Structure 1
Amino acid sequence: MGAIDGTHIRIKSPTVDEHLYVNRKNFHSINIQGVCDARLKFLNIVAKWPGSTHDSFIWNNCASKEIFVNSTIPDGWLLGDSAYPLRPWPLTPVFNPSTPSEGRYNDSHTRTRNTIERAFGVLKSRFRCVDTSGGTLLYTPKKTCKIAIATTVLHNMCINSNVPLPEGCNPVDNGQIRVQYVGRQLNDGARVRERLINGRFSS
C-alpha cells in the first residue's frame, strides 16, 4: 500500500524541553513520519514529535497503525526499514538473510521501499526550508510542524499538476537517521513475512 519512514527537519534550539529535540546526529529537529505511494505522493504525514523520538514510537502512536489494527484496511502492507517493528502491516527486511528467497525478498523490499526516501528527497529539493542545505528553521517546534505539513500538501499538488522537479534535483534524503530496531518481534508479523517470501520469492 505504501512505504513508510521518518525524516528530520532541523530547527533552532527550543526554549522548552530542549533536550528532547536533540536527535542521534546531535542537532535539534522534528522527526516527521511519512507514508508515500509509487508516485512519491504522500498518503499520510505525522509532524508533531521531537527529534529524539524513535520511528517505531511514532508508528505505535499514530492513526495509521490503528487503521490497520482495526482492519479498516483489510489487505495490504506498508514497507518499512529495520527501525520499525515487524508486524503484519509494516513489513521489514530479514535480518541476516540465510536463503536465496530471503535475499530476493530483501532486494525487492529495498528497491520498493526506496520510494519514501525519494519522496522526502524531492520534497526537500522543492522546499529548501525543510532541508538541512537550507539551514535551520528559526521557528518554534509547533510552527515547524505546520510548515512541514504545508510543504507536504504543496508537494502533492505539484505531483497532481505534473510540475517538473527543480533543476539539479537529487531525490535522496541524506538527513535520515537509521537505527536498528531491537525490540520484541511478534510472531504474527514473522508468519506473514514468511508466507510472502515462500509464496513470491521462492523461485
Structure 2
Amino acid sequence: MDALIQMLPQYIHPPTEQEAQQQKVAFSVAAGFPGVFGCVDGTHVKILRPHVDEEVYVNRKNFHSLNVQIVCNADLLIIDCVARHPGSFHDARVLRESQFFAGMEQRPPVVEGLVLGDSGYPLREWLMTPFGDPVDHQQNAFNTAHRLSRVTVERCIGVLKRRWHCLHTELRVEPAVASRIVYSCCLLHNKAVLLGLEPPAPLPLEELPAIPAHPRNDGERARTAAGKAVRLHIARTHF
C-alpha cells in the first residue's frame, strides 16, 4: 500500500484540457447534457468499529463507515477520490473540504467545465444539481439528461465495489488503514480501466438518500444564486 499511495497522483488526478474536452463530447453524446467532464457521488464503505472517536463513524443507517467521495468521467475513470472522512459526514461536507472543490472554486478553475451531483451537493456555476421542483418541460428534460449522465458515477462505484469486494462487505481494520485500502483499490481500478480490462457487472448499490444542501451564509447564497442562473440558462438553451 505504501508503494501504491505514492503513485496516486499518477493515476488519480483532474483531467487535462484536452481530456476534459473529450469527456464533454462523450457525456453530450450519451445523454445530451452539455459541458460535463465528470460526476460526483459519495459511497459508504463499512468498517470495523473504531477504538477512537467511534461515534463519528456511525452513519445514518447506523453502521460504522467511511464516507468516500468519487468523481469519475464517462469512461469510469476516477479523477478524484477522498477516503478519509467518517460516515457521519454528509456528502456536501466531504466535497467542501476536498482539494477538488478548492480547485474548482478558484478563478480560473483547475478544469473548465461542469460536474454533475445529486441534490445533496451545493449548487455552483460548475456543479449542477437537478431542479427540485421542475416547472416546465425544459427543466424536466434537464433533470432527465442529468439523471442519465450522473448514473455514470453510480456505475463506477458499483464496478469498483465488484472489483474489490472488500469495499462492499467490511474492512476489518482501523479507519486510517481502511482509508489507504480504499485509495489503493481506486488506483488499481483506474489501472484496469487504462488497460482496457472488461469491467465486471456493477454491484447494485443501496446508498443513503441525499440530504438537500442549503446555503449557510451570504457568500454561499451568492454562489448558489450564480449556479441557479447557469442551471436555468442551460435548461432554456439546450433543452
Asked if these proteins are the same fold (TM beyond 0.5), I'd say: yes
Higher-helix-fraction structure: 2
Q: What RMSD over aligned residues (CA atoms) do the two structures have, in Å?
A: 1.2
For structure 2, which runs of at least 5 residues remain unmatched after alignment?
1-36, 216-220
Change (3 A) 1:73 1:199: farther
1:16 aligns with 2:46: no
1:170 corresponding residue in structure 2: 202
1:191 aligns with 2:225: no
Q: How does 1:142-181 map to 2 (within 5 A)?
A: 142-166=176-200, 169-174=201-206, 176-181=207-212
State whether residues 10 and 29 of structure 1, in contact with CA within 8 Å, keep that contact through their aligned partners in structure 2. Answer: yes
Q: How does 1:1-203 map to 2 (within 5 A)?
A: 1-70=37-106, 71-73=108-110, 75-132=112-169, 136-166=170-200, 169-174=201-206, 176-184=207-215, 186-201=224-239
State whether residues 40 and 115 of structure 1, in contact with CA within 8 Å, keep that contact through their aligned partners in structure 2. Answer: yes
CA displacement 1:176-203 (0-9 Å, x = unmatched): 22223141252011011011111101xx
CA displacement 1:40-95 (0-9 Å, x = unmatched): 11001011000000000011111111111112336211100011011112110000
TM-score (norm 1): 0.92
SS in 2 for 1:75: coil
TM-score (norm 2): 0.79
2:27 corresponding residue in structure 1: none
Q: Tell me how far apart the structure 1 counterparts of residues 204 and 126 of structure 2 sit (CA, whole Å).
A: 25
For structure 1, which runs of at least 5 residues remain unmatched after alignment?
none
Change (3 A) 1:74 1:10: closer
SS in 1 for 2:119: coil
State whether residues 120 and 172 of structure 1, in contact with CA within 8 Å, keep that contact through their aligned partners in structure 2. Answer: no
Q: Tell me how far apart the structure 2 counterparts of residues 170 and 147 of structure 1 sit (CA, whole Å).
A: 19
SS in 2 for 1:67: helix
State whether residues 122 and 172 of structure 1, in contact with CA within 8 Å, keep that contact through their aligned partners in structure 2. Answer: no
Q: CA deviation at 1:96?
A: 1.4
State whether residues 116 and 150 of structure 2, in contact with CA within 8 Å, keep that contact through their aligned partners in structure 1. Answer: yes
Identical columns (%): 35
Q: Tell me how far apart the structure 2 counterparts of residues 144 and 54 of structure 1 sit (CA, whole Å).
A: 19
